[in-house]
Amino acid sequence: MRLLADMADPTTDPLSEGNVLVFATGPIVGSGLPIGSRYDVVTRSPLTSTTTSANSGGGVRRCDEAGGYDAVVITGRPEEPVYLFMDGGYAEIRGASDLWGQTTNETTSAIQRENDDPKISVACIGPAGERLCRMASVMNENSRAAGRGGVGAVMGSKNLKAVAADRDRVLRLKEEIVSKIRENAISGGGLPRFGTAVLINVINKNHILPTRNFQSAHFPRAERVSGEEMAGTILVGKMGCEVCIIGCGREIELAGKRMEGPEYETIWAFGPDCGIDDLAVIAQANVRCNELGLDTISTGATIACTMELSEKGYIDETIRFGDAEAMHDLVRRIGYREGIGDDLTEGSLRFARKHGHPEASMSVKRQELPDYDPRGLQGHGLAYATSVRGGDHVYGHMIAPEVLGSPEKLDPYTSEGKAAWTKTLQDLTAVIDSSGSCLFTSFPLGADDYAAMIAAVTGFDINTAGLLRIGERIWNLQKVFNIRAGCTKADDSLPPRLLEEPLREGAPAGRVWERQPLLDEYYRVRGWDGEGRPTAAKLRELGLGELPPHLAGVPAR
Amino acid sequence: MRLLADMADPTTDPLSEGNVLVFATGPIVGSGLPIGSRYDVVTRSPLTSTTTSANSGGGVRRCDEAGGYDAVVITGRPEEPVYLFMDGGYAEIRGASDLWGQTTNETTSAIQRENDDPKISVACIGPAGERLCRMASVMNENSRAAGRGGVGAVMGSKNLKAVAADRDRVLRLKEEIVSKIRENAISGGGLPRFGTAVLINVINKNHILPTRNFQSAHFPRAERVSGEEMAGTILVGKMGCEVCIIGCGREIELAGKRMEGPEYETIWAFGPDCGIDDLAVIAQANVRCNELGLDTISTGATIACTMELSEKGYIDETIRFGDAEAMHDLVRRIGYREGIGDDLTEGSLRFARKHGHPEASMSVKRQELPDYDPRGLQGHGLAYATSVRGGDHVYGHMIAPEVLGSPEKLDPYTSEGKAAWTKTLQDLTAVIDSSGSCLFTSFPLGADDYAAMIAAVTGFDINTAGLLRIGERIWNLQKVFNIRAGCTKADDSLPPRLLEEPLREGAPAGRVWERQPLLDEYYRVRGWDGEGRPTAAKLRELGLGELPPHLAGVPAR
């Protein structure tokens, strides 16, 4: 009503161009409350000459859901009949000369056929509205009527045959997405059945499961801490984030008590990396970390580093690999900063450096590396080295092509072509994270799927290239931030052990991580200079030419 | 990341006040797609000194759903520990000194207990974050971790123990609303069982069912066109608007073909008002109106008026009450403006006036009245006469208290106290329509329920008085529009028959509609002048003091 009052002079002939026709939903529509499905057609009535607000139930409310529209206001009058088509924030006025004269049912069917979707919501007029009958209605979903006050005649006077909303763009996508997730071997099989720990045996078999602080890449008793082992012993249930249909989370029972089960990374950090082969011990360390609010990867890996320092005699304390009690005690000490924990809480690099052996810290940019040995994974090593947030397996996630064959299988031992792959996966994972999506959906889904979903939800015109560009923007902005924060090319590297000490066992035996060719190529494909600095031209290309004052001066020429 | 880059200098110590902590969801979250349940904690990492973005799944995404927040940015540092509580657009910083030192599980439980809701989503830090451990995580839903980069330490450095979101304000309301709708005799019984036509027998029994163009208020064969009759004969299914749990719509089968069944108003208009007692004939007229896009009330009532004019010899055409074929023919002619239909399409008043008998049009402000005889319903008559959109039974809907006893039973024959009731119901129905809610939910629900729902969905601080004030604003804005459009006090009336010819049968026999006392009292309770014009003071009180130029000068002094 406010829109009508603001836009229309009440003395204007209701059937003239000056009248305004408002389709409006309300705040309850789309709220999930089972009472909100109505919309109003508000205008000056040609029957009563007063304001009118014909109310109807049904699908045009989807204008709101699909496009984020609260109201659609129709003014003016085109020469020829038209209809308004709305699809996820996108609105188009289309010719409707062929629809003129048709009944409301015929019109609805024709628009649904034309757009190849029988679920498109159509509000339209029939011959009565076209002929400006003062008792013409607007019909939606064939049989629901915004009936009174002659609102159909006002629509007819504007040569507007229909307002159609594609209400199923998100819903259609949902069906497709659900079936892709369910049919994929990882998201529909391994992850729901065995949780993220389904990877333990796979990674160990490939001799890339870091063991005893990366002193080896194979843990002989890995099976005892695998997802399969968990499923056959302590597992009592599955957990998923809200709305998730994968459900990779685990619920376990220990000593009669139900608790969350450990993830793959956590199992590795408190298991193989610390020389522990007891799932119950690992699960207890996990629960304790959660209670204290500690990152399980950095905590476990820092303890593993401490164990190596101890075994090599670089520190006074005696903390051996495989010592469950010592490990549990260190978790507590780190969380409360007690004794040695006060130093350990600074992270493995600061601790190891303090004791003269920084090389014992298996970290990148001071953050502890996760559980894939890059000596057997050239691309994944590059993702580790160049991650803008330090040692991290999620950004980039080259494990997918190099081990799991998703989206295609790459030779993990070669550095060739890995820079471009790493860049693409870094940009993709950055935009997936930013979208609020779960990264595990990237096994069944491709960049085109994410682009389609984000386009459907936001109404933005985003294709696959546009999606990756968003990721690249995120990545470059982080890189600029990091350079200003003090990062240099030297930080884009891995611990010396991974560059200098070849693996000794299995298929990747004899290999180290090949920094030089990978990094040079990576900077090149990123469009950065030889020192790894984004160029001003690159940033301008990405629409990041205007940086806040505290970031100015960072880009290379 | 953009928020961090814009707000934080990368050279600032990550654990100092200058660092910025961002909790952000993404566009996929809350979209209905089964992959969107993640959020990021973005900040400068105290572990890596780079940017970091710890990602986690679960409930904090509800910040988005409950409050419409895409991101929450934390800056500064209070003297004492605090936590952030968000509830449907409302955010409050609360003391958390008693939570300091507790584990993440203890903290989560304590906040849920304190707010009396075990489903509140809590993201918090444990002792590790409080102690600025560089590997401290942020935990949410007890066991989900935004684990890496020491984001928990940044939270601790800001003395922020938790971010809690009441995710169930709308959901909790939903459960309550659903059970109220299901348990109510009308919304949970009569309407789903018999559709809106459940009213035919009720209204006829009360001798207020207008028959043969309001020449009588009782239709002897009403049972044959009742909702009960439909349910026992042609009914094959029920239909509801999307999200609706009432389902008052009907699906019927006629001659082997499925189609939408007629509503109560439609049955009346093509049935009793035209002297027709055949549901199939009525249903066909309904379908034809829908196809042509014609309002069934105005079309049926205009035909009834034509029948009276014909029987009294005021027009040349012979169109008798009860003549099904003539009725169907007129529907088509009106829709296509053929022959007499070209005049009828102007509505009953213009047609009757053209033939010298405007009194035969049973309309208010030129719009045909619906199916309740106001001579036996003083309050409903007032709602008819004063409706800002002409003859209309929905705005005001005094049938509810005067016949159905909702929310309480009023004597339908007295005018006393009806003005205040009518004003309240007009304001209430206006705001219910505006909210997108179905009016039938007002049988089980009260103004307080709508206020609670709109508050929950919008995050606005709206109580019952505030809700009715919105309705009153809508009403007054329409009234101002109408006055400028030419309406005067004379338009706030009913057709002469209802003022002058007493009913002859049943309980309301001998009564007419009592305009004078009702209208004077109504203008008074509305705060309008004696001519029914909103005063400038009233409009200012309603926040409508500033009107668009084309509405200026309307208010009374």
Instruction: Tell whether A369 is within 8 A of chain B (Cβ).
Output: no
Look at residue B60 in the predicted model and tell me its pLDDT: 47
- CA A380 vs CA A202, B370, B436, B508: distances in Å: 16, 73, 52, 87
Gap between the Cα atoms of B554 and B534, Å rounded: 8
Q: Side-chain half-sphere of A406: how many Cα atoms within 13 Å?
A: 18
Entry field: residues in chain B? 557
Look at residue A89 in the predicted model and tell me its pLDDT: 65
Q: Cβ contacts (< 8 Å) between A334 and chain B: which residues?
A: 128, 133, 135
Instruction: Tell whether B152 is within 8 A of chain A (Cβ).
Output: yes
**Start-end of H helices in A57-137:** 62-67, 104-114, 127-130
Nearest to B134 among A33, A346, A481 (CB): A346
Cβ-proximal residues to A243 (8 Å cutoff; 6+ apart), any chain: B32, B33, B34, B35, B36, B37
Look at residue B67 in the predicted model and tell me its pLDDT: 55
Gap between the Cα atoms of A382 and A396, Å rounded: 9
Look at residue A253 in the predicted model and tell me its pLDDT: 97
Q: How many other CB atoms sit within 10 Å of the CB of residue A116?
A: 7
DSSP B132-152: T-TTB-EEETTTEEE-STTHH
Instruction: Tell me: pLDDT of A459 over 70.
Output: yes
Look at residue A118 in the predicted model and tell me its pLDDT: 86
* A70 band by pLDDT with thresholds 50, 70 and 90: confident
Look at residue B505 in the predicted model and tell me its pLDDT: 94
Hey, what amino acid is at A188?
Answer: G
* A443 band by pLDDT with thresholds 50, 70 and 90: very high
pLDDT tens-digit map of B197-238: 999 999 999 999 999 999 999 999 999 999 999 999 999 999
Three-class SS of residue B279? helix
pLDDT tens-digit map of B338-389: 999 999 999 999 999 999 999 999 999 999 999 999 999 999 999 999 999 9
The stretch A266-277 carries a mean pLDDT of 98
Min Cα separation B53/chain A (Å): 7
**A436/B51 CB distance under 8 A:** no
**B10/A481 CB distance under 8 A:** yes
**R_g of chain B, CA atoms, integer Å:** 31
CB A123 within 8 A of CB A97: no
Round to the nearest angstrom and report the end-to-end CA distance of chain B. Answer: 56
A404 DSSP 8-state letter: I
The stretch A517-544 carries a mean pLDDT of 97
Instruction: Tell me: pLDDT of A247 over 80.
Output: yes
Q: Cβ contacts (< 8 Å) between B4 and chain A: which residues?
A: 481
Instruction: Tell whether B145 is within 8 A of chain A (Cβ).
Output: yes
Predicted ipTM? 0.84
Round to the nearest angstrom and report the end-to-end CA distance of chain A. Answer: 56
Token digits for B537? 């003071």
Gap between the Cα atoms of A142 and A149, Å rounded: 19
Which chain A residue has the Cα nearest residue B293?
Answer: A126
Gap between the Cα atoms of B363 and B377, Å rounded: 16
Instruction: Tell me: pLDDT of A58 over 80.
Output: no
Three-class SS of residue A405? coil
Token digits for A12? 């204007």
Cβ-proximal residues to B175 (8 Å cutoff; 6+ apart), any chain: none
B249-254 vs B235-239, strand pairing mode: antiparallel
Q: Which of B25, B50, B157, B246 to mutate to test the interface with A (most CBs of A within 10 A)?
A: B50
Instruction: Out of A399-413, A491-505, B59-73, B247-261, pick the least confident.
Output: B59-73
* Contact map slice: A 528-547 vs B, CB within 8 A: 547
pLDDT tens-digit map of A147-179: 999 999 999 999 999 999 876 677 778 889 999
Q: Cβ contacts (< 8 Å) between B485 and chain A: which residues?
A: 10-11, 44, 49-51
Q: Cβ contacts (< 8 Å) between A439 and chain B: which residues?
A: 55
Which chain A residue has the Cα nearest residue B394?
Answer: A55
Gap between the Cα atoms of A189 and A186, Å rounded: 5
Helix or strand holding residue B305 (H, E): helix B296-311
Min Cα separation B500/chain A (Å): 23
Which chain B residue has the Cα nearest residue A182?
Answer: B34
SS3 content of chain B, % helix, strand, coil (to 5): 45, 15, 40
The stretch A33-43 carries a mean pLDDT of 88
Q: How many other CB atoms sit within 10 Å of the CB of residue B551?
A: 20
Q: Cβ contacts (< 8 Å) between A174 and chain B: which residues?
A: 32-34
CB A252 within 8 A of CB A232: no
Gap between the Cα atoms of A429 and A117, Å rounded: 32
A160-165 vs A82-87, strand pairing mode: parallel
Instruction: Tell whether A435 is within 8 A of chain B (Cβ).
Output: yes
Can the peptide bond before residue B549 be classed as cis, meaning omega within 30 degrees of 0?
Answer: no
**B2/A477 CB distance under 8 A:** yes
Q: Give average pLDDT by consecutive 10-residue segment, chain B, 557 residues.
A: 94 96 87 84 96 82 58 94 84 95 98 90 96 97 94 98 82 88 95 96 97 98 97 94 89 95 97 98 97 97 98 97 98 97 97 98 97 98 97 95 95 97 98 93 95 87 96 97 96 98 97 97 97 96 93 84
The stretch A428-447 carries a mean pLDDT of 94
Look at residue B172 in the predicted model and tell me its pLDDT: 76
Q: Which of B284, B226, B292 is nearest to B257 (CA)?
A: B284
Instruction: Tell whether B550 is within 8 A of chain A (Cβ).
Output: yes
Which chain B residue has the Cα nearest residue A35?
Answer: B437
Nearest to B104 among A143, A293, A298 (CB): A293
Look at residue B35 in the predicted model and tell me its pLDDT: 84
Gap between the Cα atoms of A281 and B540, Å rounded: 71
Instruction: Tell whether A393 is within 8 A of chain B (Cβ).
Output: no
- CA A130 vs CA A74, A179, B287, B368, B395: distances in Å: 16, 44, 18, 21, 28
Q: Cβ contacts (< 8 Å) between A136 and chain B: which residues?
A: 293-295
Q: Cβ contacts (< 8 Å) between A135 and chain B: which residues?
A: 294-295, 298-299, 302, 334, 345, 347, 368
Instruction: Tell whether A434 is within 8 A of chain B (Cβ).
Output: yes
Q: Which of A12, A37, A48 to mutate to test the interface with B (most CBs of B within 10 A)?
A: A48
Instruction: Tell whether B28 is within 8 A of chain A (Cβ).
Output: yes
Nearest to A135 among B11, B294, B437 (CB): B294
Q: Which of A236, A226, A117 is nearest to A166 (CA)?
A: A117
Bridge partners, residue B164, by sequence: B85, B122
Q: Cβ contacts (< 8 Å) between B302 and chain A: which residues?
A: 135
Q: Cβ contacts (< 8 Å) between A467 and chain B: which residues?
A: none
A·B CB contacts under 8 A: 479
* Contact map slice: B 310-329 vs A, CB within 8 A: none
Instruction: Tell whether B481 is within 8 A of chain A (Cβ).
Output: yes
